[in-house]
A and B are shown apart, each in its own frame.
Chain A
Amino acid sequence: MSFELETAAHPENLRRVAIEPVSRVEGHGKVTILLDDDNKVHQVRLHIVEFRGFERFIQGRPYWEVPVMVQRLCGICPVSHHLAASKALDMIIGAKLTPTAEKLRRLMHYGQILQSHALHFFHLASPDLLFGFGADMATRNIVGVVAAAPEVAKKGVLLRKYGQEIIRLTAGKRVHGTGSVPGGMNKALTLAERDLLLKDIYQMVAWSREAVAIIRGLFEKNLASYNSFGRFDAACMSLVRADGAMDLYHGGLRARSADGKTLFDHFDYSRYWDVIAEDVKPWSYMKFPFLKSLGPDAGWYRVGPLARVANCDFIPTPLADHERKEFLAYDGGRPAGATLGYHWARMIEMLHAAENIKDLLHDEDIIGTDLMAKGERAERGVGVIEAPRGTLIHHYRVNEDDQVIRANLIVSTTHNNQAMNAAIRQVAMQYLDGHEVTEGLLNHIEVAIRCFDPCLSCATHALGQMPLEVEVADAEGRILDRKYKDARGVCALE
């Protein structure tokens, strides 16, 4: 299914339906679907208009600017780019971080995981999950969630706020701070700041447990449909700690095939190109990474919460690990292979992040002041981190004048490119094939995309509710039908 619907044999006589842009995701993307006269699906593609350009325009810049500059890729998880770049540059300056610096970075990172996962689940995904994938568009949004379940919405907002506060206190600002620098951190956490965070952390852990219960409850209520929605088998890749534990800040790469066979384990990410390569396709601006050992056709894989929870041997915080075991055992493990299982895994990770923050705040090193380290200069550095959406790779080369001469970034959403295409093709066959296209049915496609929480353009220019326009055109390109939703969510038909 993954490639069957990639290219129609005879596209010339097919109708084209476009979902452009895809809404309630980060950034801009579109889906095109080719249908015949009987509404049979012949081609489904997720297109991502991703102009990043950072690899080119940081060339020639001094290396110490990079962690602050590249985080501007994204307004939602800039911390991930900030830290991945810092880790790469730690290698360039040969620094082994002090315990305080590493723990402060971890605190920043887990604050980021907490706020990003809360944002996605409560603000972006919950309208579909609480009201139904084909529910009335007028209520299927965050305003509808606030009206129908104000306590749930409020907890989502406050969880995110707490994560943002951690980022502010470690990076200097809630968005686009400067805390992490090559070799360490520029800012210590004061006792007062630590105590401020400690005050609310137990509430955050409790609310994160409730969030896991919410998604588990939704699975229990809709088990058959949730398990089968956009389901496909795929390989997984993530970082794991040396003892096999989940570690979102640092570790070695582990990949498993769709049948659970380990392809590589504890692989030193500083040579990621030995195990990962990127394919290009003429119809997409985004590359298609694959595991080299399986080749470009069979080597695509998942990253992100579902891959991480399934890939690790255990989660090193007790409440989240308990939830992981429940998740993997539930209904014979089927949710752990379901596309909607991403949401469940994401909430387990949010709980892990909250527990981890609690532990870090109780660690005396966190208020230490030994923040910087130095070492022997190297020419090349690779930094890999598990960002909220998946494995994030930053790779730089720096010349002897301290200028960046080459950069390569493989962002989380790029790893998931083929997996997202596989999911929407499954959903198109399950729900659209042979049916008259409606907004509710098209939203099923978007629901599948949202499971991955993609950051489509790693951009900051999407404000408010995204407009949605769907056109049905005949073979000559004449518009037969158009449905339009404006930025306020008001729908119009032509």
Chain B
Amino acid sequence: MTDVFNLDGKEVPFTPGQTVMQAALTAGVFIPHLCYHPEFKPHGSCKLCTVKVNGRPATSCTLPAAAGMEVESNTPEILDKRRMLLQMLLVEGNHFCPSCEKSGNCKLQALGYELEVMTPHFTHFYPDRPVDASHHDVLLDFNRCILCELCIRASAEVDHKNVFALSGRGLKKHLIVNAESGRLADTDFALTDKAAQVCPVGVILPKRVGFAVPIGQRHFDAAPMSGHVAEYVPVAPADQGERK
């Protein structure tokens, strides 16, 4: 017997150990997300992937799939909540898409368009977050950080360098560099590190390269995030828990 659950009226098969998100993506069904990455363990921090399971909210990236689940994802109520989460993320940092090098390749921007965020709605925080341009090859623009911890996870688990960390609590939580000086130049971080490749927004950027890809040819110019679902399918879903 194949294990299946119901997602917005569609039967989605899964293998034991898969999360709802992994099973959905494997089946070609997109669930919005920011902190999820197919090569890393589920994190559950951004809450964009929140669904309702048997009437109760849960993060689909961390919830193990179970036979017979009734999962709602693409409903007006849940989309409203996701839109609000995006609006909160957009005002907590300084996200100026017009001059951001990541524009067109940014998942936060792509989801903003896809979920039709028409206004910021909330008052902008305009936090004061100076950039770290000390590293020869990489610029850190903390203004755009959404605290997904993907760079922290990649640096610790793949690069084994532990370059990044979060500091502070609640509203004061922020990304830091693990160096006495706090400067990226004083770490062994390299442009080739996995941590330099995983940022869903525009925090970690190669230096001296800007707007190299013309408008119309950027990643999300061709299709919204839901049109790239194949990119997010777990590489080896069965042993996701052990891989990283």
Interface residues of A (CB under 8 A from B): 60-62, 64-65, 67-69, 72, 93, 171-173, 176-179, 181-182, 186-187, 401-403
> CB < 8 Å: which of B130, B209, B214 contacts A172?
B214
CA distance A401 to B209 in the complex (A): 14
CA distance A401 to B98 in the complex (A): 23
Q: Are A186's CB and B212's CB within 8 A?
A: yes
CA distance A62 to B209 in the complex (A): 10
Can you give 21 contacting A-B residue pairs, CB < 8 Å? A60-B130, A62-B131, A62-B133, A62-B210, A65-B101, A68-B98, A68-B99, A68-B210, A69-B98, A69-B99, A72-B99, A172-B215, A176-B98, A181-B212, A186-B212, A186-B213, A187-B214, A187-B215, A401-B133, A402-B139, A402-B207
Please indicate the chain B residues that have their CB under 8 angstroms from the CB of A172 in the complex.
214-216
A98 to chain B minimum Cβ distance, whole angstroms, is: 15
Please indicate the chain A residues that have their CB under 8 angstroms from the CB of B56 in the complex.
none
CA distance A19 to B48 in the complex (A): 51
Chain A, interface SS category: loop
A483 to chain B minimum Cβ distance, whole angstroms, is: 36
A219 to chain B minimum Cβ distance, whole angstroms, is: 42
> CB < 8 Å: which of B133, B209, B214 contacts A178?
B214
B173 at the interface (CB under 8 A from A): no
The 4 closest A-B pairs by CB, nearest first: A64-B210, A172-B215, A69-B99, A187-B214
Instruction: Tell me the count of chain B residues lying within 8 A, CB to CB, of chain A.
Output: 20
CA distance A64 to B207 in the complex (A): 8
> CB < 8 Å: which of B133, B212, B213, B215 contacts A177?
B215
B125 at the interface (CB under 8 A from A): no
> CB < 8 Å: which of B209, B214, B216 contacts A64?
B209
Task: Contacts A68-B98, A69-B98 known; list 9 others, CB within 8 Å.
Answer: A64-B101, A65-B101, A65-B210, A172-B214, A172-B216, A177-B215, A186-B211, A186-B214, A402-B139
Q: Are A173's CB and B139's CB within 8 A?
A: no
B208 at the interface (CB under 8 A from A): yes
Please indicate the chain B residues that have their CB under 8 angstroms from the CB of A403 in the complex.
131, 133
Please indicate the chain B residues that have their CB under 8 angstroms from the CB of A182 in the complex.
210
CA distance A182 to B99 in the complex (A): 14
Please indicate the chain A residues that have their CB under 8 angstroms from the CB of B139 in the complex.
62, 402
CA distance A61 to B207 in the complex (A): 12
Please indicate the chain B residues that have their CB under 8 angstroms from the CB of A62 in the complex.
131, 133, 139, 205, 207, 210
> CB < 8 Å: which of A60, A173, A402 contacts B208?
A402
CA distance A171 to B214 in the complex (A): 8
> CB < 8 Å: which of A60, A65, A171 contacts B99?
A65
CA distance A147 to B7 in the complex (A): 58
CA distance A186 to B213 in the complex (A): 6
Please indicate the chain B residues that have their CB under 8 angstroms from the CB of A178 in the complex.
211, 214-215
> CB < 8 Å: which of A72, A179, A181, A402 contacts B133?
A402
B197 at the interface (CB under 8 A from A): no
B231 to chain A minimum Cβ distance, whole angstroms, is: 23
B134 at the interface (CB under 8 A from A): yes
B106 to chain A minimum Cβ distance, whole angstroms, is: 14
Please indicate the chain B residues that have their CB under 8 angstroms from the CB of A93 in the complex.
208
Please indicate the chain A residues that have their CB under 8 angstroms from the CB of B205 in the complex.
62
Please indicate the chain A residues that have their CB under 8 angstroms from the CB of B208 in the complex.
64, 93, 402
Please indicate the chain A residues that have their CB under 8 angstroms from the CB of B214 in the complex.
172, 178-179, 186-187
CA distance A401 to B137 in the complex (A): 9
CA distance A401 to B139 in the complex (A): 9
Please indicate the chain B residues that have their CB under 8 angstroms from the CB of A402 in the complex.
133, 139, 207-208
Q: Name B136's closest neighbour in chain A (CB-CB).
A: A401
Q: Name B213's closest neighbour in chain A (CB-CB).
A: A186
CA distance A182 to B211 in the complex (A): 10
Q: Name B133's closest neighbour in chain A (CB-CB).
A: A401
A62 to chain B minimum Cβ distance, whole angstroms, is: 6
B109 to chain A minimum Cβ distance, whole angstroms, is: 14
B129 to chain A minimum Cβ distance, whole angstroms, is: 11
C-beta contact mask, B177-207 vs A, less than 8 Å → 1, else 0? 0000000000000000000000000000101
B33 to chain A minimum Cβ distance, whole angstroms, is: 27
B187 to chain A minimum Cβ distance, whole angstroms, is: 15
Q: Which of B130, B208, B212 has the most CB of A within 10 A?
A: B208
CA distance A68 to B208 in the complex (A): 14
Please indicate the chain B residues that have their CB under 8 angstroms from the CB of A181 in the complex.
210-212
CA distance A67 to B139 in the complex (A): 18
CA distance A55 to B150 in the complex (A): 34
B182 to chain A minimum Cβ distance, whole angstroms, is: 15
Q: Name A176's closest neighbour in chain B (CB-CB).
A: B98
Q: Name A177's closest neighbour in chain B (CB-CB).
A: B215
> CB < 8 Å: which of B133, B211, B213 contacts A68?
B211
Q: Are A64's CB and B98's CB within 8 A?
A: no
CA distance A268 to B143 in the complex (A): 39
CA distance A171 to B212 in the complex (A): 12
B98 to chain A minimum Cβ distance, whole angstroms, is: 6
A415 to chain B minimum Cβ distance, whole angstroms, is: 26
Q: Which of B98, B100, B205, B209 has the most CB of A within 10 A?
A: B98
A363 to chain B minimum Cβ distance, whole angstroms, is: 21
Please indicate the chain A residues that have their CB under 8 angstroms from the CB of B207 in the complex.
62, 402
CA distance A64 to B208 in the complex (A): 6
Please indicate the chain B residues that have their CB under 8 angstroms from the CB of A65 in the complex.
99-101, 210
CA distance A401 to B184 in the complex (A): 12
CA distance A176 to B103 in the complex (A): 13
C-beta contact mask, B98-119 vs A, less than 8 Å → 1, else 0? 1111000000000000000000
CA distance A172 to B215 in the complex (A): 5
C-beta contact mask, B208-236 vs A, less than 8 Å → 1, else 0? 11111111100000000000000000000
CA distance A69 to B130 in the complex (A): 17
CA distance A68 to B98 in the complex (A): 7
Q: Name B135's closest neighbour in chain A (CB-CB).
A: A401
CA distance A181 to B211 in the complex (A): 7
C-beta contact mask, B134-163 vs A, less than 8 Å → 1, else 0? 100001000000000000000000000000
Please indicate the chain A residues that have their CB under 8 angstroms from the CB of B133 in the complex.
62, 401-403
Please indicate the chain A residues that have their CB under 8 angstroms from the CB of B99 in the complex.
61, 65, 68-69, 72
Q: Are A61's CB and B211's CB within 8 A?
A: no
Q: Name A171's closest neighbour in chain B (CB-CB).
A: B215
CA distance A172 to B216 in the complex (A): 7
Q: Name B104's closest neighbour in chain A (CB-CB).
A: A178
Q: Which of A60, A64, A177, A178 has the most CB of B within 10 A?
A: A178
B63 to chain A minimum Cβ distance, whole angstroms, is: 40
Please indicate the chain A residues that have their CB under 8 angstroms from the CB of B98 in the complex.
68-69, 72, 176
Q: Name A403's closest neighbour in chain B (CB-CB).
A: B133
Q: Name B98's closest neighbour in chain A (CB-CB).
A: A72
Please indicate the chain B residues that have their CB under 8 angstroms from the CB of A173 in the complex.
215
Q: Name A372's closest neighbour in chain B (CB-CB).
A: B212
